[in-house]
Amino acid sequence: MKQVEADPYPWPYDGPVDPARTALVCIDWQVDFCGPGGYVDTMGYDLKLTRAGLEPTAVVLAAARAAGMMVVHTREGHLPDLSDCQPNKLWRSKRIGAGIGDAGPCGRILVKGEPGWEIVPEVAPIAGEAIVDKPGKGAFYATNLDLLLRVAGISHLIFTGITTDVCVHTTMREANDMGYECLLLEDCTGATDYGNYLAALQMVKMQGGVFGAVAPSSALLAAMGAA
Amino acid sequence: MTTAPYPWPYDGRLDPARLALVVVGAQGWWAARTTEPTVALDALERTAKVVRDGGGVVVVVRRTGAGEPVFEPASDDLVVGCSGMSGFAGGPLDQRLRALGRDHLAVGGLGLETAVYSTLAAANDRGYECLALADGAAPHDPAVGERALSSITMSGGIFGAVGTTSDLSDLVLGAGPGPPAAPAAAIQDLYRKERA
């Protein structure tokens, strides 16, 4: 394996990609965020934007699995009685007409166990892969993600998922603050607004890579010898 | 009131006893890397005075190793340390805010796309009701900063609302006597009953 040709520096900073210390983190590829009838669809956003990264992510997933890399999937969702949903989050969702816990075409919005909460088949977890359920945007807050990664000896994280400016950024920022070396795959992510997606990529790269680096998935596959 | 995408805070009239103005990134590292930092700092200075006088608390978060402070705290302000871009990373911010009963945060400082955005995202997950101060947050790149503000307001206010330091001052000055904001738990109960 080699370093990834990434922006603004070859990733990772400390040498070639080491599959034993690197995890692929797939954020919230759920029907609620990229499927018809889910939460994002109910809010009226263009699903093409959040679905754009599905195909390249499936290719990266296959390569990571073949390389023996740890794979982590995250899901945002709440208990059926919404006792783990912050009241302001609930209020905002209702105000925009996509209330968390309300019945929709894919079951109750953002509720655990409902069809909308499931990860879409294109990038679904396989047996043995870690799945982290989170009540918020960041995958580290109120979850065991940090513990899972530490036990597995992971220090480097490669991110795919949705949405770029919200759950991906919140998680990547937390990871970076905790000392993980982070890479975001630009074609494996999307946001509800294309301009905000582009700005979110830019935010990672500013000031010499303030939150890590950004690369196309082709560059990662090339570095892994999987292209 | 001009806060977007909803009149902030979500739970009614602002209670200054539950308000903290959180200033992040006000140090040399950011001052050297942001656009017109003094404009944001001056705006924060003005609203900080109103917040203090009105019963709010001002919290200045400083990151280890990020250079000279550029925002002068008053004697009653709280100064807490952190070790990351988020003011909540590696420091006592969450604990101190909880101990003071401050669950409504107005967030500003230097580094709209870095320190401010990270702090806002972390605060939101922790249940704080947040207002990002557009004129009190200096961007690294104004075009990217505009997008950061846009991201905050998407999906009905994914991290809270965006307003100005004047909005905040007006809210504190207009707080006066009146019904206090409904406690968060009461609002959640309301939704539970509605569903039942």
pTM across the whole model: 0.95
Chain B residues closer than 8 Å to A78 by CB: none
Tokens of B87: 């003011």
Instruction: Tell me the C-alpha distance between B106 and B8, whole Å.
Output: 10
Residue B179 has a pLDDT of 54
* Nearest one of A29, A27, A28, A32 to A43, comparing CA atoms: A32
**With an 8 Å Cβ cutoff, are B124 and A137 in contact?**
yes
Question: How do strand B19-24 and strand A107-108 relate by DSSP bridges?
Answer: unpaired
**Strands (DSSP E) found in A14-87:** 22-27, 70-76
**With an 8 Å Cβ cutoff, are B113 and A195 in contact?**
no
Residue A227 has a pLDDT of 75
Of B33, B184, B195, nearest to A101 by CB-CB distance is: B195
Task: Note the pLDDT tens digit of each residue in A120-149.
Answer: 999 999 999 999 999 999 999 999 999 999
Confirm if B147 and A197 have CB atoms less than 8 A apart. Answer: no
Confirm if B16 and B175 have CB atoms less than 8 A apart. Answer: yes
Q: Which of residues 111-130 of B touch A (CB under 8 A)?
A: 113-114, 117-118, 121-122, 124-127, 129
Give the position of tokens 């140090």: B27
Q: At residue A101, does pLDDT exceed 70?
A: yes
Nearest 5°: phi and psi at A160? Answer: -125, 165
- How many CB pairs below 8 A link A and B? 136
**With an 8 Å Cβ cutoff, are A91 and B187 in contact?**
yes
Which residues of A are marked as active site?
28, 134, 167
Confirm if B116 and B24 have CB atoms less than 8 A apart. Answer: yes
The average confidence (pLDDT) of chain A is 97
Task: Note the pLDDT tens digit of each residue in A21-63.
Answer: 999 999 999 999 999 999 999 999 999 999 999 999 999 999 9
**With an 8 Å Cβ cutoff, are A206 and B140 in contact?**
yes
ipTM: 0.96
Residue A60 has a pLDDT of 98
Q: Which of residues 167-206 of A touch B (CB under 8 A)?
A: 169-170, 173-174, 176-178, 191-193, 195-196, 198-200, 202-203, 206
Q: Which of residues 142-161 of A touch B (CB under 8 A)?
A: 142
* Nearest one of B55, B53, B46, B56 to B21, comparing CA atoms: B56
Instruction: Tell me the C-alpha distance between A7 and B32, whole Å.
Output: 22
Task: Note the pLDDT tens digit of each residue in A144-183.
Answer: 999 999 999 999 999 999 999 999 999 999 999 999 999 9
Residue B1 has a pLDDT of 54
**With an 8 Å Cβ cutoff, are B160 and A88 in contact?**
yes
* Nearest one of B84, B92, B106, B77 to B18, comparing CA atoms: B106
pLDDT confidence tier of residue A80, bands split at 50, 70 and 90: very high
- Give the other-Cβ count within 10 Å of A225's Cβ: 11
pLDDT confidence tier of residue A12, bands split at 50, 70 and 90: very high
Q: At residue A97, does pLDDT exceed 90?
A: yes
Give me the tens of pLDDT residue by residue for chain B, a chain 196 residues long: 589 999 999 999 999 999 999 999 999 999 999 999 999 999 999 999 999 999 999 999 999 999 999 999 999 999 999 999 999 999 999 999 999 999 999 999 999 999 999 999 999 999 999 999 999 999 999 999 999 999 999 999 999 999 999 999 999 998 654 555 555 665 666 566 665 5
DSSP reduced 3-state for B22 = strand
Within an 8 Å CB–CB cutoff, is residue B153 touching chain A?
Answer: no
User: How large a percentage of chain A has pLDDT more than 70?
Assistant: 100
**With an 8 Å Cβ cutoff, are A174 and B114 in contact?**
no
Within an 8 Å CB–CB cutoff, is residue A94 touching chain B?
Answer: yes
Of A43, A98, A196, nearest to B147 by CB-CB distance is: A196
* Nearest one of B55, B6, B177, B172 to A93, comparing CA atoms: B6
